[in-house]
A and B are shown apart, each in its own frame.
Chain A
Amino acid sequence: MHAPSALPSPPAVSVRNLTKRFGDFVAVDNVSFDVSQGEIFGFLGANGAGKTTTIRMLTGLLKPSSGEGTVGGWDVNREYEKIKTRIGYMSQRFSLYDDLKVRENLLFFGGIYGLSSQKIRERVKELDGSLNLLEMENRRTVSLPLGFKQRLALACAILHKPPILFLDEPTGGVDPIARRYFWDLISELAAGGTTVFVTTHYMDEAEYCHRLSIMDKGRIVEMDSPFAIKKKYGMTSIQDIFIQLVDR
């Protein structure tokens, strides 16, 4: 452990015993964790483990059945309206407007967050190096390959420079080259102080995270840095560890 050199900043996300039930099915079962500012928190887990459900509670879209949590200091049980405008969220099945051109989607989402057209254009140019948005600007969103749509959805989620970013499988269906650009951008955002809460099923991407949580059937079964987890299990591949933890 390092001695704190300055006053520690409060966690960006803090969760205690968060639980979500659908009828008598427990989708998220008493999870607790903190995510620090500027941290890349890899939220891994099997299909149906409860990752998206957790993210929906943290982004103010779903009411927890029980438990507490704060995001950016706001209470997930009461101040969810504030949370919604303060964070960035890219959902697993994102909600782009298929009929709109790429440019129009960017203007629309930027507009929601109160950005002027001028500001939006500047941001799009800034992000172009990592996301190559300009080359597809005038295409209709419906005609884009899946990997391009993911790039656009990520752009829409970060136009307003949110301090906390929730990315639910941002690289699903994205090719290996574009995935490296995504992660480069994510690392850059985090280095600039953005907290990134991210899920993925690509285990090589786990290596880019500062800390990982591995979830199975509603519970967190492992949580630590990739380095510490690999050391604990005496394995070099997060994928093998994941399979061992989840395949029971």
Chain B
Amino acid sequence: MGEPAIQITDLKKQYQGTIALSSVSFDIKPGEMFGLIGPDGAGKTSLIRILTSLLDPDDGQCRLLGISVNNEPEQVRKVIGYMPQRFSLYPDLTVGENLRFFADLFRVPRQERLKRTEALLQFSRLTPFVKRRAGQLSGGMKQKLALSCALIHTPKVLILDEPTTGVDPVSRREFWGILKTLKEGGVTLLVATPYMDEAEKCDRIALINKGNILAVGTAAEIIERFTGVVYALFGLNLPAIAGWFKKRLHPNQVQILGDRVHVSLFADTTETMDSLCREAENSGHSIRSVEAAEPGLEDTFISLIVEKN
């Protein structure tokens, strides 16, 4: 086991009275793929900026591979790869030139560069566009090129801030395949993401809200914290049924998922699904059947955050 790859102890940060992080602590193990989830403004980016030595904490410590970020920021920058939420490419360089530029910057050996470039172009589907200037790519293509530039070298620790915003589902799946390969090669990964299906791919997850860590654990462990009940409703007009429940309960508690509507009742409610369904039927909705469903990470995310508010 040994020392954690990333060690965060009592980290605090305020901006003009707004608390961005109020005493955050957790560890990430070497070779772990660690997910960071939380609502917008929860403190994810502040935490990442502190870890990457771009922002000074008010108080607390963090160490990456045993190196203190507070005392040796230059050393830290040498071992990490980092992709900020908004990453700037060179719009006048082509796709190929951008990749080459970052490979040279990180002193990637030629053989390695060629191999890596091929894999990255495969995931990003940018092969037909290597000669196109980056400024002329679509939003998602730019994001994928930025990701590719960040992944052209192999850092020991890779920190990604919402890497797949704007990336389509096909590329998203392949991108996570690349992350998995890196993990298997021993890279430690910290990924902030608003996608729950991505968080579920991580070994462990921290849920952060208003600068506090609400839960840390595997997806299954976090889901166990959900204390309510989730119901799956089947029926004729799902959008109408979902609409009714959103009005009657709260938009947070209702989601259409494929051929069913999920409605979650939090632990503190006095409502029962039986009577709610009767009410819905009386308002003209036709619900064919109701069954208890497994709560997911998103249900838990929402209930933990709503509970704290």
Interfacial residues, chain A to chain B (CB-CB below 8 A): 22, 45-49, 51-53, 92-93, 143-148, 169, 172-178, 180-181, 183-184, 187, 201-204, 207-208, 210, 227, 230, 236-239, 242-243, 246-247
User: Which of B63-71, B100-108, B180-188, B238-246 contacts the other chain?
Assistant: B238-246
Of the residues A45, A201, A237, contact of B166 by C-beta under 8 Å: A201
Q: List the A side residues contacting B139 at CB < 8 Å.
A: 47, 52, 92-93, 169
- Residue pair A148, B41 in contact (C-beta under 8 Å): yes
**Chain A residue with minimal CB distance to B18?**
A139
The verdict on B251 contacting chain A, using a C-beta distance below 8 Å, is yes
Q: How far is the CA of A210 from the CA of B254 in the complex (A)?
A: 18
Of the residues B168, B173, B239, contact of A47 by C-beta under 8 Å: B168
- Residue pair A45, B168 in contact (C-beta under 8 Å): yes
- Residue pair B141, A147 in contact (C-beta under 8 Å): no
Q: How far is the CA of A172 from the CA of B195 in the complex (A)?
A: 10
* Number of A-B residue pairs with CB-CB distance less than 8 Å in the complex they form: 123
Q: List the A side residues contacting B259 at CB < 8 Å.
A: 230, 236
- Residue pair A176, B140 in contact (C-beta under 8 Å): no
**Chain B residue with minimal CB distance to A92?**
B139
Q: List the A side residues contacting B239 at CB < 8 Å.
A: 187, 207-208, 210
- Residue pair A204, B302 in contact (C-beta under 8 Å): no
- Residue pair B167, A52 in contact (C-beta under 8 Å): no
Q: How far is the CA of A183 from the CA of B86 in the complex (A)?
A: 25
The verdict on B196 contacting chain A, using a C-beta distance below 8 Å, is yes
Summarize A's interface: helix, strand, loop or mixed.
Answer: helix
Expressed in whole angstroms, the minimum distance between the Cβ of A150 and any Cβ of chain B is 8
Of the residues A47, A178, A183, contact of B40 by C-beta under 8 Å: A178
Q: How far is the CA of A47 from the CA of B194 in the complex (A)?
A: 19
**Chain A residue with minimal CB distance to B144?**
A47
- Residue pair A176, B302 in contact (C-beta under 8 Å): yes
- Residue pair A175, B138 in contact (C-beta under 8 Å): no
The verdict on B258 contacting chain A, using a C-beta distance below 8 Å, is yes
The verdict on B301 contacting chain A, using a C-beta distance below 8 Å, is yes
Q: How far is the CA of A230 from the CA of B138 in the complex (A)?
A: 28
The verdict on B171 contacting chain A, using a C-beta distance below 8 Å, is yes
Q: List the A side residues contacting B30 at CB < 8 Å.
A: none
- Residue pair B171, A177 in contact (C-beta under 8 Å): no
Given A47-B166, A48-B125, 14 more A-B residue pairs with CB atoms under 8 Å apart are A48-B141, A53-B138, A92-B166, A147-B39, A173-B162, A176-B298, A177-B302, A180-B251, A180-B255, A201-B140, A204-B256, A207-B239, A237-B258, A242-B168
Q: How far is the CA of A47 from the CA of B175 in the complex (A)?
A: 14
**Chain B residue with minimal CB distance to A52?**
B138
